[in-house]
Structure 1
């Protein structure tokens, strides 16, 4: 994503050659290798306000460019094993050191039960499901589907016939008055099939459970890392910001499968939801996504490899720390 945004000068000066949303639907000109990584039109339309000036006369990309221009080096949550070509692009366009700090996978203490009463009831339901049968559905703390999207999602889950555990946010904080609701009768009809959780849920502990096989996610990178650490296959449904770029990287590397959508408005149907879930979770055609999740687990969950990335940046920081001036004798 940092490489896709580009060098700082055009962002600061406002002379980026990309002026229209459709300009972001193709790889940028500073990327010399063949790639499909670019925004879908519906994704950039949900994100394009970042190029528009706010009340202060400054836009988000200008602020981003100023930060990148002023820093001494760039540290990014990434690894050479996943995207070496993009890390090289970063060094080229910024002409300063770039350090991948690894994928920062969860550590053991994060799996401790922090709310045993809430988790115990969730675990009880998960324990009753067959191993590697359940799809976990969650879109992070910020992303929220529209009412139309929520309806198709719910009916798609029902239509799939797969067991599901859905952590659903119907509003983003108390200031969000645009409430969304499940289709009438959905929870009653799916009582034996799945669970809808509208409160806190321990995502790491859910993903670590052996009954979970797949993760329908917004493609936020923390969620991606957590899922792959626990070998969960990825079904992708993006909403805004860097999610579209993350999804294209995962698609290109055959690590995740995106639900088919209308290219202009991003709409999708219950049928496409159901078919996508069945493809990734159970069909022979989608076996490669299940296999890739297991393959990536060895990379994303490799603690020794992770420590080496962190060690590299610590060595750099120690060797480049400012030298204190000798105290004056007078």
Structure 2
């Protein structure tokens, strides 16, 4: 007897989840996987061996429903040995990582074929996958999914604004962008005022994403493959409260549903395990405990922003000149072996500034009462974590991709201030860092920024509503499978 529509919509799903090889992608994909598992669905999480080993463990109560399957990344000439994520390579070698990633097409096809032939296959589940939820980069998944009649969804860990800026292939052909200036204005297919445009130095970088790289295909062409019929949903780590008007606009523009998954904040607000949770971080926590409430600015530019040695020197100069207390999670640029900080810097800021070169438990730091603001590259994950969970105003220093768009949007909301940059080459001066830090931490303007940040936190920090977005996503998965 055929099952009814209602019975089909209540059946547990088996979802194959496959993120791009960057921790800023893998971590939200894992958060989404855990939320699906908590709702009774089975998840096969696909990555490479080293990345799987470095990700946080799946909670024991979910281990029966979340299985991690690894595929060996093929060797590519020029890619360092053992490099399996963007955190392992300098920015100029990320395109080689994409080339290696494309080499996973055949083993992934084998995994899917086995899963379809034996129910759950190597993943250990008893059912054929109902969905493949993939990232932007796998333009080679579509024929595999079509062969086995498995619908796909794209899960983008980026804000919806980036897709609004990119637009469809048709819109780009109708409104070609051929100069840097074309990327510095709002696209004509956005019919209302917005902050969706890039500065000159950012525009030149985003224009490069429209050109083929060492993998033989451009990043934007990878995005545009989502317009194929077997891609039925585009899911974003976002929600209408933080990006009003864009979800319905893009649903109409791309002629398929753009669905919010919510912000997917981890359940535990203060405890993140890792090497920074050991005794080596104890002295830093003790120093934080001794500082006045909301007097410290936390400084972290993410694990993958293309930060140079000169950026670090100017940032050090700015923190020194600001006179503000700070905790700096300093990441050495990949491949840089020389001195980074100016001579005598740590001695001159001793007592009011701490530089931590090792891993930092960021959530724990942001939750600390001594922290009053965040100097950030405005990656979406860090922005969500600091502003929307803890209500910290931002000092914003964007570098790539969506970070400039996020920075403009947060400035328009009155929750942060951008460090001035040279518009041609993106360089910045220590003096401007110092002045921006003081604006947020030590001047009257900072009080207004802090109030606005707390108000936005109240709106976006509704855990019940955030979980409802996941429930609604599951309804879409049931309806469109």
Task: Note whether the superposition's TM-score is higher than 0.5.
Answer: yes
1:278 is aligned to 438
Distance 1:119 1:144, change over 3 A: same
2:374 is aligned to 215
Across the aligned residues of Structure 1 and Structure 2, the Cα RMSD in angstroms comes to 1.9
Question: How many residues are matched?
Answer: 316
Moved over 6 A (4+): none
Please point out which of 129, 138, 157 is paired with 2:319. Answer: 157
Distance 1:258 1:61, change over 3 A: same
Secondary structure of the structure 2 residue equivalent to 1:143: coil
1:5 is aligned to 166
The C-alpha deviation readout for 1:271-290, integer Å capped at 9, x for no partner, is: 21111111111211232211
Q: Which structure has more RCO (C-alpha within 8 Å, separation ≥ 6)? A: 1
**Whole-angstrom distance in 1 between the partners of 2:376 and 2:289:** 22
CA contact (8 A) 1:101 1:309 kept: yes
CA contact (8 A) 2:232 2:480 kept: no
**Whole-angstrom distance in 1 between the partners of 2:400 and 2:256:** 29
Distance 1:177 1:154, change over 3 A: closer
1:307 is aligned to 467
Q: Give how far 1:208 is off.
A: 0.5
1:326 is aligned to none
1:20 is aligned to 179
Q: Give how far 1:270 is off.
A: 1.6
Distance 1:216 1:16, change over 3 A: same
2:221 is aligned to 62
**Whole-angstrom distance in 1 between the partners of 2:480 and 2:259:** 14
**Whole-angstrom distance in 2 between the partners of 1:318 and 1:18:** 38
Distance 1:223 1:46, change over 3 A: same
Q: Give how far 1:60 is off.
A: 1.2
Please point out which of 238, 247, 253 is paired with 1:93. Answer: 253
Q: Give how far 1:109 is off.
A: 6.7
**Whole-angstrom distance in 1 between the partners of 2:181 and 2:280:** 45
**Whole-angstrom distance in 1 between the partners of 2:447 and 2:304:** 31
**Whole-angstrom distance in 2 between the partners of 1:193 and 1:179:** 25
Q: Which moved more, 1:128-137 or 1:20-29?
A: 20-29
CA contact (8 A) 2:308 2:333 kept: no
Q: Give how far 1:119 is off.
A: 3.2
CA contact (8 A) 1:27 1:38 kept: yes
**Whole-angstrom distance in 1 between the partners of 2:271 and 2:170:** 43
Please point out which of 293, 317, 336 is paired with 1:131. Answer: 293
Q: Which moved more, 1:246-255 or 1:143-152?
A: 143-152
CA contact (8 A) 1:219 1:243 kept: yes
**Whole-angstrom distance in 2 between the partners of 1:180 and 1:217:** 23
Secondary structure of the structure 2 residue equivalent to 1:200: coil
Q: Which moved more, 1:260-269 or 1:105-114?
A: 105-114
Counterparts of residues 99-110 of structure 1 (less than 5 Å): 99-108=259-268
Secondary structure of the structure 1 residue equivalent to 2:298: strand
Secondary structure of the structure 2 residue equivalent to 1:188: helix
Counterparts of residues 187-198 of structure 1 (less than 5 Å): 187-198=346-357
CA contact (8 A) 1:42 1:264 kept: yes
Secondary structure of the structure 1 residue equivalent to 2:245: helix
**Whole-angstrom distance in 2 between the partners of 1:214 and 1:238:** 16
The C-alpha deviation readout for 1:74-103, integer Å capped at 9, x for no partner, is: 111111112122222211210111111111
**Whole-angstrom distance in 1 between the partners of 2:220 and 2:364:** 36
CA contact (8 A) 1:134 1:164 kept: yes
Q: Does 1:83 align with 2:243?
A: yes
Please point out which of 447, 451, 475 is paired with 1:287. Answer: 447
**Whole-angstrom distance in 2 between the partners of 1:144 and 1:265:** 14
**Whole-angstrom distance in 1 between the partners of 2:249 and 2:416:** 23
Q: Which moved more, 1:102-111 or 1:287-296?
A: 102-111
**Whole-angstrom distance in 2 between the partners of 1:161 and 1:46:** 34
CA contact (8 A) 1:144 1:170 kept: no
**Whole-angstrom distance in 1 between the partners of 2:171 and 2:219:** 13
**Whole-angstrom distance in 2 between the partners of 1:110 and 1:94:** 39
**Whole-angstrom distance in 2 between the partners of 1:104 and 1:294:** 19
Q: Give how far 1:319 is off.
A: 2.7
